[in-house]
Structure formats: structure tokens, C-alpha cells
């Protein structure tokens, strides 16, 4: 078939199609398919173009959370400037020492936690996280003279409905708590989500992880004999509170950052 014959066949099909009534089945189907294709193209374009902005906002949100747990956030604060007083470092959890193996600005803690190369399956898993990362990013807050002021450690574990992700801020002795904050969870508003209530969070300030003999004492419970290590459970949310108790004990204990905090104390991190 010659070019001109091909054109006249195509033109004929198009003319027959256009002569059909607008509400005919072929024209309705054609419009529906064309509309679907157009919309999916718009969605795909938006997803691709917004990806860098999403990554930037995610990183900014993480920095704000770190500032908040360290008590350095207020409305209008220059997040990047204040965040520059933190030194992010990668810690090898098993040795409790800093490592230069990975660049802290590129290391993705969340994906490392599920990467078979960068994590280990847990036999004992009180925080219900399945796998433990081999490395974690910690943030050292430095004073104006470069001296250590606070240590911010990532923590996470299962509550009642969801994994709670957050940070704990410790004073430079690695034992006294400055603050605790979760930045992601799906516990019930008014019940488990009260972990975000400032008055509940306020309780953590000034509490200690370990006693003078090095025993891990911190506890989230309904009652306690020693206020120094005690955080009240949330009323009506015992299960979320138990999850927080488990995850804090896990990450502050020997399986978590226990060795790192010990090394930090004796200057061997």
C-alpha cells in the first residue's frame, strides 16, 4: 500500500469515528481511556517533580525534631543555622564506637534498619522491631567552645498500632535525660498519641537511665518506688506506654546504645 493510500485509510477511520454521536460507546470509551492516560501522566509528572522537594522537607522535618528534643526549637528559628551546632556521627552499635565507614549526611537509618547487609535479625525483640541496624546516626550537640553538651539518639519500637519513631536527648554524662520526642507514629489520638502531649513529655526531663551501679533503671509504669527513674504510664493507653517502656529500655540497654554511652563516658567512643 502506498503512502497516499495509507493516509486515506487512516483519514477514513478518523472521519467515521468523528461522525459517530458523542454519546456512542466507542467515543465514550475513547474519551475515558484518553482522560485516564492524561491524568496518570499528570500524576506521574507531579510525583517525579515533587520528589526533591519531598526529600528536602523530610530532612528539614528531621532537623526540626532534633532541635525540638534538644530544646533549641522555637517558631521562626533558622533551622539550618541552629542545626549546624550538631555533629552527626555514625555509631557501630555492636562496638559502641564511631565509624567513618559511612557518610552521616548520606546514611539512611530507616532503610539501613531493613537492609540485610546493614542489620541483623533479632532473637530477643522486646521493642518489636524485627531487625536491629548495625549502624545508627547520632547527633552530638556542641557548645560554643566545641565541648559536648548533649547527645541525641534515635529510638523506635512498636506501641499498640504502630512503630513509634523518635529521639532521646541525653545530657553530656550520657545518663541524665533532657528530653524524648516521637516524630512518627499512628497511635490513637487522645489515647496512645498522648505520647506527644508536652506535659507527659516534660516528665522525662531530669530523669536518669541508670543508677550508680550502672543498672538500667528507667521505666514507664503505673507505679514506682523511685521517682528518679520513673515516668507515669499514659492513662487509658497502657499498651502504648508499655511499648515506649520496652523501646527505651531496648535502645538504652546493652543491645542498643548501652556500649556507646559507656564508651562516651570514658572517652573511648
Residues of the shown chain interacting with ligand FMN in the complex, contacts defined by CB under 6 A: 160-161, 187-188, 191-192, 235-240
Nearer of residues 72 and 160 to ligand FMN, judged by Cβ: 160
Closest separation in Å from C-beta 165 to ligand FMN: 15
Alpha-carbon distance of 183 to 166, in angstroms, equals 5
Nearer of residues 188 and 208 to ligand FMN, judged by Cβ: 188
Closest separation in Å from C-beta 248 to ligand FMN: 16
Closest separation in Å from C-beta 166 to ligand FMN: 15
Give the three cell numbers for residue 265.
Answer: 563516658
Alpha-carbon distance of 92 to 144, in angstroms, equals 27
Which residue is closest to ligand FMN by CB? 192
Residues 6+ apart with CB under 8 A from 76: none
Alpha-carbon distance of 42 to 258, in angstroms, equals 49
Alpha-carbon distance of 154 to 169, in angstroms, equals 9
Nearer of residues 154 and 243 to ligand FMN, judged by Cβ: 243
Residues 6+ apart with CB under 8 A from 193: 185, 187
Nearer of residues 149 and 194 to ligand FMN, judged by Cβ: 194
Closest separation in Å from C-beta 136 to ligand FMN: 26
Amino acid at each position: 500500500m502506498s503512502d497516499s493510500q495509507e493516509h486515506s485509510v487512516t483519514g477514513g477511520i478518523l472521519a467515521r469515528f468523528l461522525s459517530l454521536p458523542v454519546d456512542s460507546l466507542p467515543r465514550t470509551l475513547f474519551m475515558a481511556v484518553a482522560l485516564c492516560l492524561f491524568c496518570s501522566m499528570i500524576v506521574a509528572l507531579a510525583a517525579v517533580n515533587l520528589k526533591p522537594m519531598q526529600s528536602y522537607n523530610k530532612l528539614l522535618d528531621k532537623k526540626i525534631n532534633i532541635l525540638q528534643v534538644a530544646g533549641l526549637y522555637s517558631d521562626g528559628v533558622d533551622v539550618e543555622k541552629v542545626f549546624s551546632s550538631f555533629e552527626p556521627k555514625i555509631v557501630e552499635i555492636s562496638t559502641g564506637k564511631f565509624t567513618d565507614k559511612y557518610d552521616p549526611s548520606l546514611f539512611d537509618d530507616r532503610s539501613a534498619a531493613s537492609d540485610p547487609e546493614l542489620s541483623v535479625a533479632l532473637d530477643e525483640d522486646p521493642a518489636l522491631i524485627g531487625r536491629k541496624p548495625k549502624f545508627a546516626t547520632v547527633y552530638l550537640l556542641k557548645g560554643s567552645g566545641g565541648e559536648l553538651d548533649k547527645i541525641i539518639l534515635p529510638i523506635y519500637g512498636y506501641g499498640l498500632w504502630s512503630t513509634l519513631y523518635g529521639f532521646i536527648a541525653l545530657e553530656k554524662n550520657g545518663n541524665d535525660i533532657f528530653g524524648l520526642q516521637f516524630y512518627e507514629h499512628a497511635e490513637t489520638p487522645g489515647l496512645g498519641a498522648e505520647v506527644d502531649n508536652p506535659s507527659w513529655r516534660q516528665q522525662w526531663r531530669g530523669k536518669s537511665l541508670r543508677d550508680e551501679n550502672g543498672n538500667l533503671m528507667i521505666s514507664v509504669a503505673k507505679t514506682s518506688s523511685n521517682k528518679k527513674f520513673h515516668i507515669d504510664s499514659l492513662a487509658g493507653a497502657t499498651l502504648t506506654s508499655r511499648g515506649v517502656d520496652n523501646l527505651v529500655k531496648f535502645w538504652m540497654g546493652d543491645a542498643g546504645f548501652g556500649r556507646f554511652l559507656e564508651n562516651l563516658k570514658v572517652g573511648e567512643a
